[in-house]
Amino acid sequence: VIALKTSSSALLPFLAKLEGYGRLPAEDREALLQLPHSQRTLSRSGHILREGESATTCCVILDGYACRHKILPNGSRQILSVHMKGDGVDLQNAFIPVPDYNLQTLTAAEVALIPVAAIAEIMASRPAIARAFFIEMLLDAAIQREWTVNVGRRDARTRIAHFLCELGVRCETAHTGERMRYPFPITQEHVADVTGLTPVHVNRVFQSLRADDLLATGDRTLVVKDWPALAAAGAFRSDYLNPVRGMG
Amino acid sequence: VIALKTSSSALLPFLAKLEGYGRLPAEDREALLQLPHSQRTLSRSGHILREGESATTCCVILDGYACRHKILPNGSRQILSVHMKGDGVDLQNAFIPVPDYNLQTLTAAEVALIPVAAIAEIMASRPAIARAFFIEMLLDAAIQREWTVNVGRRDARTRIAHFLCELGVRCETAHTGERMRYPFPITQEHVADVTGLTPVHVNRVFQSLRADDLLATGDRTLVVKDWPALAAAGAFRSDYLNPVRGMG
DNA sequence: CGAACTTTTGACAAGCATCAACACGTGTGG
DNA sequence: CCACACGTGTTGATGCTTGTCAAAAGTTCG
């Protein structure tokens, strides 16, 4: 028996994230990495997918940040989720090809686009991968719930601190940074659209957080100077980010 | 060949909802209705599942209203979703057994509890049902996104009108009412926890909506007196409630 | 070096929260 | 059957958080 060697593939970050939900059989790992895909380099604010358009691919983020968002009739925007290296953003396109949201980069980014048919096929033939995709979507839903709480029931300072804590923990998981120091090429206007606030008010909260020595910004990096204090300010508990907690 | 006859089963409302995503093979319909389950009658504010507890069943609503919600350290509550007849609320328990939210009835309710093992089994053996479960979860996620927009970027009047429109359309789909007249045994405090407002302010908005002749309440029923006007007041577009739009 | 974007500042307004009290209806137990 | 208690809805006064508008200062990139 010749052992399957793990190929070098652009999809490695995706595999790494999925294996966080439980180890995959070697053949499944290989099949995942061999999924047909086209790689694309996008500039800041590049559109990946528009609301109401039919999607033929699923998007995996390889580098940079992207987001889901909706634009309202009055012109205001709500960012629904932020995505980073390894995130499978669009797996649901295999089941519901017309999205209810826009998908756009927040920064320059690398993405891989996998045909929906290939996603459907690998899920049908490999139960362990289907399960991993499932959990990826369910984690996404858990984050969406927490964001609903965030904008619904927390004040501006708490909202922003919570968002920054979440981003830190997720960067750590994705190996793109540490929770106390991670890439932050995101504007305060983006943070405003995440938190349902105005850019002006976000700016004032940032100043307050800096004045209290909770964090520092600059050089497109966010540095948390006092994690416990920032987590407390954000009423942040990371439980919801661990889908497999409580499992053997 | 003897045709399979559709059994009478408490799970009929669940089947009806799933068939809205596409017709199921007769054998799958039968298998779904024959899923093992225990039926329970709950009083108002009855707990179905608590955050952090391990779930051994998935909950299907047969009658009444239930909701997901989280309670914050400061005591305030955010309702994350409202569920009604036919909704499979908890299918994800088959993959992630420890929920990040509480599940509680808003009114007296009938529910069916299906063991997670039975859910996993029927998904593994019947692809059409697995697909329907998938779409059920993805529709749930689409609604969650819309709620994030609702609390993030709409003012109080718009938020409440939007919620009432959504409930009407969903009642119509679930055959528990019409969009212009549906059961509403829900308190203004519940609406406040849905919309991230205070009960006092919800009360004032209701008065304003009644004064403008958009709706009437009473007898535990909500009557929309002018649907186009209410939909406009809520900036409501029902697209996100139709997961299979754009499909053959 | 200049244009476009992002951050920052200040004055002012508005929407919603807070607090407290009262009215209303409904179900329940004496 | 009435009395009462509790949950729900309603009202008013007041204040704070956040939004709005406008402009200036700082930054990045071609």
pLDDT digits (tens, 9 = 90+) for B54-91: 999 999 999 999 999 999 999 999 999 999 999 999 99
**What residues are paired with B222 via a beta bridge?**
B182, B217
pLDDT digits (tens, 9 = 90+) for A23-35: 999 999 999 999 9
Q: Which residues of chain B have pLDDT under 70?
A: 1-7, 245-248
Q: Quick one: CA torsion of B173, B177, B182, B186, rounded to 10 degrees?
A: -70
Q: Do residues B85 and B174 make contact, with C-beta atoms less than 8 angstroms apart?
A: yes
The token pair at B169 is: 């359309």
pLDDT at A247: 52
- Shortest Cα distance from A78 to chain B (angstroms)? 6
Quote the minimal CA–CA distance from A2 to chain B in Å: 30
- Interval A18-23 mean pLDDT: 96
Residue A8 pLDDT > 80:
no
Does residue A1 have a pLDDT over 50?
no
Of residues B7 and A219, the one with the higher pLDDT is: A219
Which nucleotides of chain D have an atom under 7 angstroms from any protein CB? 7-13, 17-22
Exposure on the CB side of residue B200, measured as CA atoms within 13 A: 0
Give the per-residue pLDDT at B1: 46
Q: Which residues contact A179 (CB under 8 A, 6 or more apart)?
A: A165, A168, A169, A171, A172, A224, A227
C-alpha of A195 from chain center: 16
- Measure the CA–CA gap between A108 and A127, rounded to whole angstroms: 34
CB within 8 Å of B21: residues ≥ 6 apart:
B131, B132, B135, B136, B243, B244
CA of A170 to C1' of C14 (A): 37
Model pLDDT, residue B62: 97
Q: Cα–Cα distance between A180 and A199 in angstroms, integer?
A: 24
Tokens linked to B189: 């405090």
Contact A98 B54 (CB under 8 A): no
Three-class HEC string of A123-191:
HHHCHHHHHHHHHHHHHHHHHHHHHHHHHHHCCHHHHHHHHHHHHHHHHHHHCCCECCEEECCCCHHHH
A111 pLDDT band, cuts 50/70/90, is: very high
**What's the pLDDT score for residue A243?**
87
Q: Which amino acid is at A219?
A: D
Chain B residue numbers with beta carbons less than 8 Å from the beta carbon of A95 are: 131, 134-135, 138, 243
Q: What is the pLDDT of residues A142-201, one digit of tens each?
A: 999 999 999 999 999 999 999 999 999 999 999 999 999 999 999 999 999 999 999 999
Task: From chain A, pick out residues whose CB is under 8 angstroms from the CB of B100.
Answer: 142, 145-146, 239-240
**Mean pLDDT score, A27-47:** 96
Strand pairing partners for B80?
none
Q: What SS3 state is found at A56?
A: coil
Q: Is pLDDT of A36 > 90? A: yes
Residues of B whose CB is below 8 A from A135: 95-96
Q: Which residues of B145-167 are buried (b: 16+ CB within 10 A; e: fewer)?
A: bbbbbbbbbbebbbbbbbbbbbb
- Per-residue pLDDT, averaged over A129-145, amounts to 97
Query: Do the beta carbons of residue A176 and residue A221 sit within 8 Å?
Result: no
Please check the confidence at residue A3 and state whether its pLDDT lies above 60.
Answer: no
Position A70 scores a pLDDT of 98
- Rounded to whole angstroms, the Cα distance separating A54 from A61 reads 20
Percent of chain A with pLDDT over 90: 94
Q: How far is the C-alpha of B24 from the C-alpha of B19, rounded, in Å?
A: 6
Instruction: Identify the closest residue of chain B to A131 by CA–CA distance.
Output: B95
- Please write the tens of the pLDDT for every residue from B212-225: 999 999 999 999 99
Res B248: pLDDT? 40
CA-based torsion, A38, A77, A241, A117: positive or negative: negative
Nearest in space to A185 (alpha carbons), one of A109, A80, A77, A76: A109
Q: What is the mean pLDDT of chain A?
A: 95
Number of neighbours of residue A52 by Cβ within 10 angstroms: 13
What pairs with residue A101 in β-bridges? Answer: none
Nucleotide nearest A154, CA–C1', reads: D17
pTM metric for this prediction: 0.95
Instruction: Report the phi/psi class of residue B223: left, alpha or beta, with left for phi > 0 and alpha for psi in -120 to 50.
Output: beta
Return the percentage of chain B with pLDDT > 90, whole number.
94
| Strand C proximal residues, B:168-207, Cβ < 7 Å | 196-198, 200-201
Confidence of residue A246 (pLDDT cuts 50, 70, 90): low
DSSP state of B235: T
Q: In this structure, is the CB of residue A200 within 7 Å of any atom belonging to strand D? A: yes
